[in-house]
């Protein structure tokens, strides 16, 4: 199957657990792509970097089967950079610095070989960029997944609505669900979003897991309790990557497949957060993923 991922490739600098990293590899497309690779996908990437993006990081991406034909390198620009500090409970973070750099000039161009994807994953970006990619496709994807956030809900609501109309699965957190729907009841808010275009909605609740809704069904996936969380930065994107990697593998987009995909996504996210940046997810073995999946099954299994 053909999988197209639109998102950021970035530098991150993380303050957590009394440790400060240097500039390390990050970005939504990075985490999503690496996670999907571990389930057999070839991540076709649409993104942008600056002239300062090092070959060693390109090699990491290529080693995870990334097709980088759609990654633009803008000369005389630097790569998108984010620096953040996690508080003691790791559930809250403070943004110390954001430098858009090359991302501010991102005008995505979809290579011809990417123009008929089966699955499209629109990472958390300006809805105008997301629409720009969809408008360049030759055929309607079998399944389109969109991630977004409160900034776009507040600042580009009309363009975001256009994206959501073209979306099969929307992924947002609980507060954003209420904000978008202007309703403090999470379930009522979710039901409203499902009238706006998507067939499915995944509501992320951080360390408390995620809820998936369709018009007639609901399913909740807990987050696997982790004793030592090192860096939560890539958790959400790793979750999305595991989910789309599973859907790509089984070539099914029904509710049951989404439920199973969420288990894979949660398992991979739980491995990601045990290291800084992509260090854990990059080196994840099939055996460690199988073990984590079994841990999940044991966590949610109930015998009556």
Give percent above pLDDT 90 in the chain: 92
Q: Would you tell me the crossing angle of helices 157-165 and 127-135 to the nearest 10 degrees?
A: 40
Q: What is the pLDDT of residue 107?
A: 94
- For residue 50, the model assigns a pLDDT of 98
**What confidence tens digit (pLDDT) does each residue in 69-78 have?**
999 999 999 9
Distances (CA, A) of 274 to 125, 226, 270, 278, 286: 26, 8, 7, 10, 17
pLDDT of amino acid 303: 87
3-state secondary structure of 187: helix
For 3, what's the count of Cα atoms within 13 Å in the CB-facing half-sphere? 33
How do residues 196-244 score in pLDDT, each as one tens digit? Answer: 999 999 999 988 899 999 999 999 999 899 999 999 999 999 999 999 9
* Interatomic CA distance for residues 14 and 143, integer angstroms: 33
Q: For position 207, what pLDDT does the model report? A: 82
Express each pLDDT in 46-85 by its tens digit: 999 999 999 999 999 999 999 999 999 999 999 999 999 9
**CA-CA distance, 55 to 267, in Å (whole number)?**
30
- The band of 88, judged by pLDDT with boundaries at 50, 70 and 90, is confident
Domain that holds residue 287: 3-300
pLDDT tens for residues 147-204?
999 999 999 999 999 999 999 999 999 999 999 999 999 999 999 999 999 999 999 9
Q: What is the DSSP string of 263-277?
A: HHHHHHHHHHTTSST
The predicted pLDDT at position 1 comes to 57
CATH number for the domain harbouring residue 156: 3.40.1190.20
The pLDDT mean for the chain works out to 96
Q: Which of the two residues, 49 and 300, has the higher pLDDT score?
A: 49
What is the count of structural domains for the chain?
1
State the pLDDT at residue 91.
82
251, pLDDT greater than 70 = yes
pTM to 2 decimal places = 0.97
Tell me which residue of 117, 115, 106, 85 sits closest to 28, measured CA to CA.
106
């Amino acid at each position: 199957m053909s999988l197209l991922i639109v998102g950021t490739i970035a530098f991150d600098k993380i303050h957590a657990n009394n440790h400060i990293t240097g500039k390390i590899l990050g970005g939504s497309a990075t985490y999503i792509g690496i996670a999907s690779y571990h389930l057999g996908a070839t991540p076709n990437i649409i993104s942008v970097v600056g002239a300062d993006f090092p070959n060693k990081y390109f090699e990491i991406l290529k080693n995870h089967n990334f097709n980088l034909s759609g990654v633009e390198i803008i000369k005389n620009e630097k790569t998108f950079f984010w620096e953040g500090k996690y508080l003691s409970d790791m559930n809250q973070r403070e943004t110390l610095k954001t430098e858009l750099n090359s991302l501010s000039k991102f005008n995505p161009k979809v290579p011809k070989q990417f123009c008929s994807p089966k699955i499209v994953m629109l990472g958390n970006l300006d809805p105008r960029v997301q629409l720009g990619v969809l408008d360049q496709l030759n055929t309607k994807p079998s399944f389109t997944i969109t991630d977004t956030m409160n900034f776009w809900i507040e600042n580009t609501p009309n363009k975001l609505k256009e994206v959501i109309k073209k979306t099969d699965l929307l992924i947002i957190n609980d507060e954003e669900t209420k904000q978008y729907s202007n309703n403090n009841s999470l379930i009522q808010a979710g039901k409203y979003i499902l009238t706006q275009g998507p067939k499915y909605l995944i509501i992320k609740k951080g360390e408390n897991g995620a809820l998936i809704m369709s018009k007639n069904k609901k399913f909740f996936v807990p987050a696997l309790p982790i004793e030592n969380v090192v860096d939560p930065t890539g958790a959400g994107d790793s979750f999305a990557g595991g989910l789309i990697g599973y859907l790509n593998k089984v070539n099914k987009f029904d509710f049951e497949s989404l439920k199973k995909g969420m288990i894979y996504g949660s398992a991979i996210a739980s491995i990601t957060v045990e290291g800084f940046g992509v260090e854990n997810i990059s080196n994840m073995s099939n055996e460690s993923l199988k073990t984590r999946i079994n841990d999940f099954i044991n966590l949610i299994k109930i015998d009556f």
